Amino acid sequence: MATNPMQQFEVHRIGPSLSFNGIDLSFTNSSLFMLISSILIIFFFIAGTRKVNIIPGKIQLLNELVFNFISKMINETVGPNARPYFPFILTIFLFILTLNMVGLLPYAFTVTSQIIITFFLAIVIFIGVTIVGFAKNGIGFLKIFAPSGVPVFLFPIIVAIEIISFLSRPISLSVRLFANMLAGHTMLKVFGGFVVSLGIIGGWLPLSFSVALTALEILVAFLQAYVFAVLSCIYLNDALNMHH
């Protein structure tokens, strides 16, 4: 077992080296766990939708539960006009949730603890939402930076704050997920290291902490996936239903 708790986040190449114009595009352990998570999601859906009945079976019920959960969340935060974006939000939620959960397994790699992954997902959502906002509202989308009812002398400051707040969305969205995963897994690794170093006599206390932390991490894994999806919906809501 590695002693450095940060070693678990190291990305390394799996298989042959693949490069294009000098850029390394090799398949890595991160890519492998993304693939595993995606396969799990696909199997989950295949098992749930293989034989669909009006009275559902166990897996179909679980499928519908996830489906209804996301559907309800989108309806509550964005409204019924967000149905075309449902598959994307569902994919985001399930992808992050599975990556988080798979990352909790021993010797597994936590893909969402990579800032580049969370940042790329967040920037895709940010750019997508901005495109949707301009497509739906035209140049009027810029009104998002100018809230109504603001005194004239405060207007430039508020607009500046709104622009900074808007631009910092991908950073906050990505850092939240990344930092939570990083902190949780580092803690688990540290306590795991204590269990090993304190041995069979003194290791029981950190072991019990590890068990409690694992339970907490399962909760965090779900919660962070949910928060990511909810915030994506809120940003989408700003683009679809402008309040300013």
Partner 1 sequence: MKKKSIAIIIYFLFLNKIAFAKEGMPQLNPEFWLSQILWLTIIFVILYFLIQKFFSPKLFALIDSRTNFIKSLLEEAELCKNQIQKLESEYNLIITEAKNEAKKISIKLKNDFSDKISLKRKEFENILNSETLKAEQEINNFKKQTLENIQNIAGDFSKELIEKITGVAPNSSNLNAVILEISNKEKKSQYV
Binding site for partner 1 (CB under 8 A): 4, 6-7, 9-11, 13, 18, 23-28, 30-31, 34-35, 38, 41-42, 45, 48-49, 52, 54, 63-64, 67-68, 86-88, 90-91, 94-95, 113-117, 120-121, 178, 182
CB of 221 to partner 1, least distance (A): 18
Smaller CB separation from partner 1, 59 or 159: 59
Q: Which is nearer to partner 1, 45 or 194 (CB)?
A: 45
Q: Which is nearer to partner 1, 6 or 219 (CB)?
A: 6
23 membership: H or E segment, kind and range: strand 23-24
CA nearest to 221, candidates 177, 174, 171, 169:
177
Count, residues in the chain: 244
Smallest distance from partner 1 to CB 26, Å: 6
Shortest CB 130 distance to partner 1, Å: 19
> CB of residue 4 vs partner 1: minimum separation in angstroms?
8
Minimal distance, residue 138 CB to partner 1, in Å: 27
User: Helices in the chain by DSSP H: which ranges?
Assistant: 29-49, 58-77, 86-103, 115-137, 155-167, 169-202, 204-240
Q: Residue 218: left (phi > 0), alpha (psi -120 to 50), or beta?
A: alpha
Say if CB 27 and CB 219 are below 8 A apart.
no
Interacting residues of 14 by C-beta distance below 8 A, sequence separation 6+: 26, 27, 28, 29, 31, 32
**Nearest CB to partner 1, comparing residues 44 and 145:** 44
Closest CB to partner 1 among residues 95, 141? 95
Instruction: Give me the least distance between CB of 197 and partner 1, in Å please.
Output: 19
Nearer to partner 1, 21 or 148 (CB): 21
Q: DSSP letters along 50-72, please?
A: SS--SS--HHHHHHHHHHHHHHH
